Amino acid sequence: MRAADISDDISEVLLTEEQIHEKLAELATQVAADYEGREVVLVGVLKGAVMVMADFARHLPVHVSMDWMAVSSYGASTRSSGVVQIRKDLDTDITGKHVLIVEDIIDSGLTLSWLLENFASRGAESVEVLALLRKPEAMKVEVDCRYVGFDIPNDFVIGYGLDYAERYRNLRDVAVLAPHVYS
């Protein structure tokens, strides 16, 4: 769906489809250069990172493997609980592998810092993070994120994989959810 299809539900389009694709292409060039000669395991964090993974991975001119993890986060609320639970674990052994975590958004940073520790304890050779979005004002813990698409204001955003109560993931752009939808 496009922003125009749900204009009552959004207060502002933050990033258009075109801006997102251009940025992911840039990041892919950078990642391919940084990992030259080393094959990477991309680990997408379900469900929000599905679109980022699909588009970012297709911009990569090199071989990668893909795996997925699902961890608990917000449910139908707009605030992080800070409690991380694995709902679906990796299918592959990442011991000795170069892992690049692919995330939709770093908000408080709690999910990611937990994931980074978890992956390090499994003996990954290296673990880096690529996040399409980051909210610097909302971060509660420092997370070392090597590849960031956009820093955005501390508003609840939807679209391009990001949901509110499981809706809006299929919006092509990233938009700020209108407060009347969740209050």
Q: Does 48 bind Mg ion (CB under 5 A)?
A: yes
Q: CA-CA-CA-CA torsion for 164, 103, 151, 127, nearest 10 degrees?
A: 160
**The one catalytic residue among 34, 89, 91, 107:** 107
CB of 96 to ligand XMP, least distance (A): 26
User: Could you give the CA distance from residue 6 to residue 110 in angstroms, rounded to a whole number?
Assistant: 31
In terms of CB distance, is 29 or 77 closer to ligand XMP? 77
Q: Does 157 bind ligand XMP (CB under 6 A)?
A: yes
Considering only CA atoms, which of 20, 42, 5, 2 is closest in space to residue 152?
Answer: 20
Q: Does 44 bind Mg ion (CB under 5 A)?
A: no
In the numeric block, which tokens belong to residue 23? Answer: 């940025």
Helix (H, G, I), strand (E, B) or coil at 76: coil
Site string for Mg ion, 7-36 (x = CB under 5 A): ------------------------------
User: Could you give the CA distance from residue 127 to residue 180 in angstroms, rounded to a whole number?
Assistant: 39
Query: Judged by CB under 6 A, which of 6, 163, 173, 175 binds ligand XMP?
Result: 163
Residues of span 113-142 touching ligand XMP by CB under 6 A: none
Do 57 and 132 form a contact (C-beta atoms < 8 A)? no
The binding site for ligand XMP (CB under 6 A) comprises 45, 48, 73-74, 80, 103-112, 156-158, 162-164
